[in-house]
Chain A
Amino acid sequence: MSDIWWMILRRLALGVLTLFVVTLLIFGAIQLLPGDPAQAILGQAATPETLAALRTELGLDLPAWQRYLNWISGVLHGDFGVSLANKRPISELIAGRLANTLFLALYAAVIAVPLSLALGILAALWRGSWFDRAINVLTLSSISFPEFFVAYILIFWLAQSGLFPSISNIPPGAPLAEKLYRTFLPALTLTLVVTAHMMRMTRAAIINLLASPYIEMARLKGMGPTRVIVHHALPNALAPIINVVALNLAYLITGVVVVEVVFVYPGLGQLMVDSVAKRDIPVVQAAALIFAAAYILLNLAADVLSTLSNPRLVNKR
């Protein structure tokens, strides 16, 4: 087991290194954004003097490397700075939004992951049947439509009829059931978007193994089709499945801007898009950094879990 801890430690160190490279990229990319934050804040009426004063106040007159150092040392101390737009501390601004995003992602994941695993296993079990084909067509069509289109279709069917609200704003302190009810449509949209990928990978990973000698052996031991798939094929197919699940979870956290906008859901993605529009650079940087960290952490978890799922890597000779 100590090998596993070493691996986790090594991957964590690599993750931190990646994150550092990402901060450079984020900072560099932001420098390439057109427009001047001071100009954006003060508007057309600004005089050259006020602009210069604001630039000095925001530290925009410092050389780039110095601004990067200031930013990164703040981040290391847990201080993301203050928003340019409304002067509120960014950590405070982001905390609520991040919680919302994570809530929605978790909600969608709790539906989508078991659903796609179950569908994938059933499709592998009944491969070639009408069920297999129908489920393939359905999931493929739901992934092929743009997210906003799926969202509007769901609004058309489920919100127009009054079953679910089309706007997912959550009053502070709402009970869980209320939150689940109000965010059902965005969660369902996201589920439809990510299920196809995970389900097809589950199906393919299992079917890939069905020609293996040990699967034939299981059948020759008189095991039924369900046991062959679930007990003999699935444990050996876990690594690719785990990786696809992790990728989709990362997408659920970082890629949901459009869905948030459609359902007016106060998530992190929406905050980031707004901030880009307002040239609120510190907020954009902070949000980008959180997204990057989520990606890195989920991939790390996927690596560790797929290693743990393989006895050849856990139990050395």
Chain B
Amino acid sequence: MTEAASNKPVLLTIRGLRIEGPPDEKWNEIVKGVDLSLHRGEVLGLIGESGAGKSTLGLAAMGFTRDGCRISGGSIDFDGIDLLTAPEPVRRGLRGKRIAYVAQSAAASFNPAHRLIDQYSEGPVQHGVMSKAEAQRDAMELYRRMRLPNPDEIGFRYPHQVSGGQLQRAMTAMAMACRPDLIIFDEPTTALDVTTQIEVLSAIRDIVAQFDTAAIYITHDLAVVAQMADRIKVLLHGEEVEEADTRTMLSAPREDYTKSLWAVRSFERGAQPALPAADVPVVEMRNIVAAYGPVPVLHDVSFEIHRRRTVAVVGESGSGKSTAARVITGLLPPSSGSVLFEGQPLPADYRQRSKDQLRQAQMIYQMADTALNPKHRIREIIGRPVHFYLGKSGKALTERVRELLHLIELEPDKFIDRLPSELSGGQKQRIGIARALAAEPRFIICDEVTSALDQLVAEGILRLLDRLQTEFDLAYMFITHDLATVKAIADEVVVMKDGRVVEQGPKAEMFAPPHDPYTELLLSSVPEMDPDWLDRLLAERAAGRAGGTVQASER
């Protein structure tokens, strides 16, 4: 496709583009002079960490800047139209009609007040491309091509009645509504489970090829971009690092930064010494059955977590991973079964647990952003559990907070009086870890702690957690849907599906065949850094191998 695409006419040319972001005191540059060109029918992958300016650049290709940003230099030419000097009505006429956008979170980007099909037809009708009736017929056709279940009926639902993976496909269909020349995909599968991601990826790829649409595919996941793009451009801090066609980029990256991205998944925790036979597990879930109201969520779940061991609990969203954590912490008392701490049963409800029992189990959350009080300084955030559980105050308290900051490798003098808003994502997550450590627990639940982070930053967090475990004899329960993280940090793996444990055992066994069919499906769905991976997988699944088939699922 690469050779074919480069023979086609150029659709989009960006030269020396500079974009400045919301001024704190002065404007700061988000995009610092980037060049980009895209041929008709070509897919360009934009890759980089968060804050690299990928989304800003993608939006600029539509002649759009977010409120508070401005384009301060360069040029954008879309099919002969200068997007920077064209009047707003002209640019508005292009958006949705000739350049369309697929957002990261379809659940948040569909208007909750309107039905899917009405949001689909809005573009074609308002741009004068089709009548409403035509647009609706067309919507059903595209829903069918995106392999959505019940394509004739699904459009008449509201967004909240449709699952995340389906919404993402409906949004791609919506972007196709006016048959645009260019689609910007802004991390369209980041929020999805691996098994759902495959369906969305293959649907997107097919439809882009069918209509010969050009696309800019923004992501931080290298393996995903390898499947989707003809060419890859790597961005760092608003500047281009390098650009090459996909195969060259994967096999022979030139720049050190690119090589470091490629090498990221190198961290792997060594095998731990065998447990003494009589070791009492730190935490044990015994035959737990739990429900939210009348809806059963966990069915007879049992597993144990030992000292200095990390148990990864994996599964798709809705499989009951987080519910298991809620049962352990006492937030959701189970309807039967018991939670044991060092062999002693814990009261089911956290309100009946003693302060010391509460102290022993701490949590680290996925969204460090929302888990830290934005109005509290680091001193208070970490100091509160120290004071509450251990009764320290005054000088001793400050001393302990500084010690904890040392442990998480943040310099106390620089950070102790900062607000969360003055920290980067990785630093916030480190504060979350320090807060959990502050209680001096025996056991920590890590709920998707790295999934909101870039790979390099995530690896730093994993290494830190690993070091702290050995230093303080901690037991971890690691909830995740990312199997690469499991490979890196786990000693044992528990695979959950629909509230049941389908497989559990040491990591080495888990990653070696034979697998439970569901584990097989999960494992085979993890994208690999090989441009042919998706084709091969789809072919294998079509032939009935490699765990399950790609089809319109109800998820």
Contacts and interface: CB of A to CB of B under 8 A. Distances in A.
A220 B160 contact: no
Nearest to B177: A221
B94 interface: yes
Contacts, number: 76
Interface string A218-230: 1111111001000
Contacts of A312: 112, 158, 160
Interface stretch (A86-94, A209-217, A259-267): A209-217
Contacts of B105: 213
A172 interface: no
Interface string B67-91: 1000000000000000000000000
Contacts of B92: 222-224
Nearest to B115: A311
Given A214-B110, A232-B111, A220 B95 contact: yes
A77 interface: no
B161 A317 contact: yes
A214 B96 contact: no
B113 A235 contact: yes
A312 B127 CA distance: 29
Instruction: Count chain B CB atoms within 10 A of each CB in A213, A222, A235, A317 and give the residue with the most.
Output: A222
B160 A222 contact: no
Nearest to B122: A221
Contact of A213 (B64, B100, B108): B108
Given A222-B127, A236-B113, A311-B113, A217 B160 contact: no
B201 to A, nearest CB: 21
Interface in B100-139: 100-101, 103, 105, 108-114, 122-123, 126-127
A224 B109 CA distance: 17
A311 B160 contact: yes
A158 to B, nearest CB: 41
Nearest to A235: B113
A308 to B, nearest CB: 12
B112 A223 contact: no
A309 B158 CA distance: 13
Contacts of A227: 126
A89 B103 CA distance: 68
A312 B113 CA distance: 8
A211 B68 CA distance: 12
A315 interface: yes
A217 B93 contact: no
Contacts of B97: 222
A236 B114 CA distance: 10
Contact of B111 (A218, A220, A222, A224): A218
A220 B112 contact: no
B112 A236 contact: yes
Contacts of A315: 157-158, 160-161
A201 to B, nearest CB: 18
A217 B94 contact: no
Given A222-B92, A224-B92, A227-B126, A217 B103 contact: yes
B101 A311 contact: no
Contact of A317 (B62, B94, B160): B160
A217 B107 CA distance: 12
Contact of A214 (B93, B94, B101, B111): B111
B105 to A, nearest CB: 6
Nearest to B59: A220
Nearest to A220: B101
The binding surface of chain A is classed by DSSP as: helix
Nearest to B98: A222
A216 B104 CA distance: 12
Interface in A293-314: 309-312
Given A213-B103, A222-B127, A311 B95 contact: no
A311 B110 CA distance: 13
A235 B114 contact: yes
A208 to B, nearest CB: 14
Contacts of B93: 222
Contacts of A214: 108-112
Contacts of A221: 95-96, 100-101, 122-123, 126
Contacts of A236: 111-113
A108 to B, nearest CB: 30
Contact of B101 (A217, A232, A235, A317): A217
Instruction: Count chain B CB atoms within 10 A of each CB in A212, A214, A310 and give the residue with the most.
Output: A214
Contact of A222 (B66, B67, B123): B123
A177 B111 CA distance: 44
B108 A311 contact: no
Contacts of B103: 213, 216-217
Interface string A187-224: 00000000000000000000000011110111111111
A213 B94 contact: no
A315 B112 CA distance: 11
A211 B93 CA distance: 22
A198 B108 CA distance: 28
B188 to A, nearest CB: 13
B109 A213 contact: yes
A250 B111 CA distance: 32
A232 B101 CA distance: 17
A226 B93 CA distance: 15
A236 B159 CA distance: 13
A194 B103 CA distance: 41
A317 B127 CA distance: 32
A46 B427 CA distance: 84
B223 to A, nearest CB: 25
7 contacts: A213-B108, A216-B66, A221-B126, A222-B92, A236-B111, A312-B158, A315-B157
Given A217-B103, A221-B122, 11 more contacts: A211-B67, A213-B105, A216-B103, A217-B110, A218-B111, A218-B122, A219-B95, A220-B64, A222-B93, A222-B127, A311-B113
- Which 7 residue pairs of A and B lie closest in terms of their CB atoms, listed nearest first? A221-B96, A222-B95, A222-B96, A235-B113, A213-B108, A220-B101, A213-B109
Interface of A: 211-214, 216-224, 227, 232, 235-236, 309-312, 315, 317
Interface of B: 59, 62, 64, 66-67, 92-97, 100-101, 103, 105, 108-114, 122-123, 126-127, 157-158, 160-161
